[in-house]
Amino acid sequence: MPSSRRYDGAVTSRPHLTLAERKRRLVSDELTESALQLLALKGYEAVTIDEIVTAAGVSRRTFFRYFGSKEDVVVQFLADMGDGIRAELAERPVDEPPSVALLHAVRVPLAACSSHSERALRVVQLILRTPALLARFLERQAQWRGDLTQEVGRRTGLDPDADLYPRLAAGMALTAFDTVLQRWSTTDGAEDPAELLDRAFDVIAPALDAGRT
């Protein structure tokens, strides 16, 4: 019988954005897309900011309005993952077992990767294999952990400052996510990340569910 934690395919869309926010998102996405396409062709070190802005059809000034460095525009591919994970967790039914809710939440960015599998794999490999990008990605993950800890605390009614569970649960979920990305990267996409995530949660689910109270 399939596990009750298996993903049902539902992905929470982005929250409603104002017109100004949508315009900013479009420019940011265009810069990110242009950078990723160039990186796929030339590699990280060979791509310049001038090439990125030329491909995106914007100025250097516009680039630096959105990003502080070339590292930032590359990491943008994964930067929204934390918000997506937390938003999905907030939408899960409050009576859902923690392992189920967290699996659905972590599945959101992996679903995005799967929809652009070849390019996503190249970018994930680039980030994991480039020290400057990996450092930035790890910084971002630390922020995700704090945000997810707060959301787990809200769902469970446990104070993250007083109870160990929210931080431990968030940490386990993100460690599973990290492990899947690493495995997917090192095997050159030979394994399905969704299946890998199911297997990872099979390992951590007993601890997640046993420690919810």
Calculated CA dihedral for residues 84, 85, 87, 90, nearest 10 degrees: 170
Model confidence at 31, pLDDT cuts 50, 70, 90, reads confident
164 Rama sector, left if φ>0, alpha if ψ -120 to 50, beta otherwise: alpha
User: Does 8 have pLDDT greater than 60?
Assistant: no
The predicted model gives 109-115 an average pLDDT of 74
What is the pLDDT, as a whole number, of residue 115?
A: 63
Confidence of residue 119 (pLDDT cuts 50, 70, 90): confident
pLDDT of residue 7: 34
pLDDT greater at residue 125 or residue 199: 199
Q: What is the SS3 assignment for 193?
A: helix
Which of 18-22, 68-72, 150-154, 162-166 has the lowest average pLDDT?
A: 18-22
Domains of the chain by range and CATH?
19-74 (1.10.10.60), 80-210 (1.10.357.10)
Question: Which percentage of the chain shows pLDDT scores above 70?
Answer: 88
pLDDT in tens, 60-90: 999 999 888 888 887 776 667 778 898 999 9
Q: What is the mean pLDDT of the chain?
A: 84
75 Cβ contact partners less than 8 Å away, ≥ 6 residues apart: 127, 133, 136, 137, 140
